[in-house]
Amino acid sequence: MAGGGRIGECAVADSSDGYKIVSDNRQARHEYEILETYEAGLELMGSEVKSIRQGRVNLRDGYALIKDGELWLHNIHISPYTMTNKAYNHEAKRARKLLLHRDEIRKLIGKVEQKGLTLVPLKLYLQRGWVKATIALAKGKKLHDKRESLKRKQESRETARALSGRD
C-alpha cells in the first residue's frame, strides 16, 4: 500500500504523529496523587486490539500488581469484539501483562512496597499501531486533600477568567 495505512485502521482518525488516546482514567487523577508515570506496552490478544481500536475500554477500576518480577494489569474491562466467534474472543476482565524494562520493574518493586503507594493506569492509547498504557505510581488522597485540590482548581479557573476579561 502506498499510503502507509493499514487495512481496517481504527474508525477514529489518528493525529499526524500516529498517537491517539483511546481511554483516559480521569477518576484516578482525582482519587490519587500522581508521583511518577511510566509508559508500558500491553500483551494482548487480537480481538482485544480490535475492541481497543473501537474505543470499548474502561480503565476506571484498574490497578497494576507486580507478581514474580512481572507487571500485571488487573480489572480493566475490554469489551468482547462483536465481529468474531465467541470461541476466539477474549475474557473481558482478564489480567493483562504490561511490558516494561526489567530495570523499571525493579525500581517499581521497591517503591510499591512502601506503605500507601499503588500503580494505577492513567490512559490507554495507540502509538504507531501499538497499544500502550500510561501507568502511574500514586498515593491515595484523603477527603480533605480532594477538597483542597478542587478549591485550587476553582481558584485557577477564576483567575484565568478574570485575566481573559482584561484583554
In the chain, where the domains are located: 19-164
Residue 103 cell numbers, joined:
530495570
Summarize pLDDT for 29-67 with one digit per residue, the tens: 888 888 999 999 988 888 788 888 888 888 888 888 889
CA atoms of 82 and 78, how far apart (whole Å)? 12
User: For the domain 19-164, what is the CATH superfamily, name and number?
Assistant: Small protein B (2.40.280.10)
Length of the chain: 167
Residue 76: CB atoms within 10 Å: 25
Is the predicted pLDDT of residue 147 greater than 90, yes or no? no
Per-residue pLDDT for 117 more than 60?
A: yes
pLDDT on residue 135: 92
For residue 85, the one-letter residue type is N
Confidence band of 13 (pLDDT split at 50, 70, 90): very low
Q: Which of 57, 159, 167, 75 is nearest to 118 (CA)?
A: 75
Q: What is the pLDDT confidence band of residue 148, given thresholds at 50, 70 and 90?
A: confident
Checking 88-91 for CB contacts under 8 A at 24+ apart, the result is 88/47, 89/47, 90/45, 90/47, 90/48, 90/51
The model's confidence at residue 14, banded by pLDDT at 50, 70 and 90, is low
- Is the pLDDT reported for residue 89 higher than 70? yes
Residues 6+ apart with CB under 8 A from 118: 32, 63, 112, 137, 138, 139, 140
CA contacts within 13 A on the Cβ side of 29: 9
